[in-house]
């Protein structure tokens, strides 16, 4: 009985060869474009793999799906039938994936977010509101960490998402841009610089700069120094941002460089930098091996917030 069933399955697979979703996606794109070059560009592949996939699909089905000329392609009657069914199958597959992801979010009910210290105050409250509106049953579990530790938390599975300013590119960690902010000079309110409408990088290079340690936030540390175009400031002090000496240096006349939207206390002022050529970038991070459930929907909600707030340069 079992042998007979196996033989039936083998016979059936020969009579009806298995069609892959990838083949249907390639064919659907080509059926829409009716041009191999444009379809390949839309699929983000080169033209030869597309041509080979379509030829294999035609061999499996035993019929021509397109009539080809040197400039374009035209669907055969069989191709038109396959296009109609392929679109339905692909739509069903996409709905199945989305429903599965939604079910996973509903089941987990908790999204663990590791946020770098400056991001938690400046960005996270608005993001939490947006995610709460989009996913009412989802609760957020937020931890505040140093930027370098955010990357480690995501990579090692201790957080589903991370938020960090200028995170260092790391194998196994994917990222998506959330916000871009102009750099500004942060000074104590008694610093004479507060009287200036703006300051240049050349002027700042002559003044005492204080920076957090590279162990705290390597990407942001490197970014600030890159603003000086290889000519480091004449005086640079590196301290733990939580060290009381940091604030003593600021009171004594040092400055630091922070994103324009960084939260500050009333004792400090932000002075615009007239010729800073780059912006601080805040990214959302996740593990490539274990992305959080419903990641596309989460990124869509984040993009909606960034668009509404004008966080990204256009």
Asked whether residue 84 falls in the same domain as residue 211, the answer is: no
Asked whether residue 297 falls in the same domain as residue 172, the answer is: yes
Asked whether residue 290 falls in the same domain as residue 235, the answer is: no
Confidence tier at 104 by pLDDT (50, 70, 90): low
Confidence tier at 294 by pLDDT (50, 70, 90): confident
pLDDT at 293 over 80: no
Q: Which of 63, 85, 105 is the last residue of a domain?
A: 105
Asked whether residue 15 falls in the same domain as residue 93, the answer is: yes
Residue 29: inside a domain, yes or no?
A: yes
Task: Report the candidate in 29, 140, 43 with the shortest Cα–Cα distance to residue 83.
Answer: 29
Residue 53: inside a domain, yes or no?
A: yes
More confident residue, 297 or 245: 245
Q: Which of 64, 88, 105 is the last residue of a domain?
A: 105
pLDDT at 100 over 90: no
Q: For the chain, what is the domain count?
A: 3
- Mean per-residue pLDDT, 285-302: 89
Position 1 scores a pLDDT of 45
pLDDT at 240 over 80: yes
Residue 314: inside a domain, yes or no?
A: no
pLDDT per residue over 76-91, tens digit each? Answer: 999 999 999 999 999 9
Q: What percent of the chain has pLDDT over 70?
A: 91
Q: What one-character DSSP code corresponds to residue 146?
A: -
Position 245 scores a pLDDT of 92
Asked whether residue 216 falls in the same domain as residue 273, the answer is: yes
pLDDT at 51 over 50: yes
- Mean per-residue pLDDT, 287-314: 86
CATH of the domain at 117: 3.40.190.10
Position 84 scores a pLDDT of 93
Residues recorded for the chain: 314
Give Rg (Cα) of the chain: 27
- Mean per-residue pLDDT, 197-223: 95
Asked whether residue 154 falls in the same domain as residue 299, the answer is: yes
Confidence tier at 197 by pLDDT (50, 70, 90): very high
pLDDT at 111 over 80: yes
Asked whether residue 40 falls in the same domain as residue 74, the answer is: yes
- 157: Cα separation from own chain's centroid: 17
Asked whether residue 174 falls in the same domain as residue 292, the answer is: yes
pLDDT at 213 over 90: yes
The CA distance from 59 to 307, in Å, is 47
Question: Quick check: 290 and 158 in contact, CB under 8 A?
Answer: no
- DSSP helix/strand/coil, 177: strand
**Tokens (6 digits) for 271:** 């002075």
pLDDT per residue over 119-174, tens digit each? Answer: 877 788 888 888 888 888 788 899 999 999 999 999 999 999 999 999 999 999 99
Count other Cβ atoms within 10 Å, centred on residue 120: 18
User: 290 is in which domain, residue-wise?
Assistant: 109-179+286-309
Position 109 scores a pLDDT of 75
More confident residue, 254 or 95: 254
In terms of average pLDDT, the best of 38-52, 114-128, 158-172, 289-303 is 158-172
Count other Cβ atoms within 10 Å, centred on residue 100: 12
Count other Cβ atoms within 10 Å, centred on residue 185: 25
Asked whether residue 197 falls in the same domain as residue 250, the answer is: yes
- Mean per-residue pLDDT, 215-234: 91
Q: DSSP states of 245-286 as a string?
A: HHHHHHHTT-BEEEETT----TTEEEEEBTT----EEEEEEE
Task: Report the candidate in 193, 208, 182 with the shortest Cα–Cα distance to residue 262.
Answer: 182
Q: Which of 60, 85, 105 is the last residue of a domain?
A: 105
Residue 168: inside a domain, yes or no?
A: yes
Asked whether residue 12 falls in the same domain as residue 99, the answer is: yes
pTM for this model (two decimals): 0.65
pLDDT at 306 over 70: yes
Confidence tier at 12 by pLDDT (50, 70, 90): very low
Position 149 scores a pLDDT of 94
Asked whether residue 115 falls in the same domain as residue 151, the answer is: yes
Query: Which H or E run includes 305?
Result: helix 295-309
């Amino acid at each position: 009985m079992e042998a007979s069933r196996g033989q039936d399955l083998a016979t059936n697979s020969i009579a009806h060869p298995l069609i892959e979703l990838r083949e249907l996606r390639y064919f659907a794109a080509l059926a829409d474009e009716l041009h191999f070059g444009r379809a390949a560009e839309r699929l983000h592949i080169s033209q030869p793999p597309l041509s080979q996939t379509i030829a294999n699909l035609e061999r499996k089905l035993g019929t021509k799906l397109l009539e080809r000329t040197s400039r374009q392609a035209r669907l055969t009657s069989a191709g038109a039938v396959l296009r109609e069914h392929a679109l339905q199958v692909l739509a069903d597959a996409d709905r199945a994936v989305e429903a599965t992801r939604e079910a996973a979010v509903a089941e987990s009910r908790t999204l663990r977010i590791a946020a770098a210290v400056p991001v938690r105050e400046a960005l996270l409250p608005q993001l939490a509101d947006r995610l709460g509106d989009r996913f009412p049953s989802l609760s957020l579990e937020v931890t505040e960490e140093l930027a370098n530790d955010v990357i480690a938390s995501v990579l090692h599975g201790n957080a589903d998402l991370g938020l960090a300013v200028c995170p260092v590119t790391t194998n196994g960690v994917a990222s998506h841009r959330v916000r871009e902010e102009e750099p500004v000079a942060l000074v104590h309110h008694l610093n004479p610089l507060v009287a200036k409408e703006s300051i240049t990088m050349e002027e700042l290079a002559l003044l005492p700069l204080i920076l957090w340690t590279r162990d705290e936030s390597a990407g942001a540390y490197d970014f600030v120094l890159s603003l000086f175009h290889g000519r480091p400031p004449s005086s640079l002090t590196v301290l733990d941002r939580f060290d009381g000496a940091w604030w003593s240096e600021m009171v004594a006349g040092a400055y630091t460089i922070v994103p324009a939207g960084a939260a500050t206390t009333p004792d400090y002022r932000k002075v615009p930098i007239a010729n800073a050529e780059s912006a601080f970038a805040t990214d959302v991070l996740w593990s490539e091996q274990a992305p959080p459930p419903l990641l596309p929907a989460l990124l869509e909600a984040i993009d909606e917030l960034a668009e509404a707030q004008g966080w990204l340069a256009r």
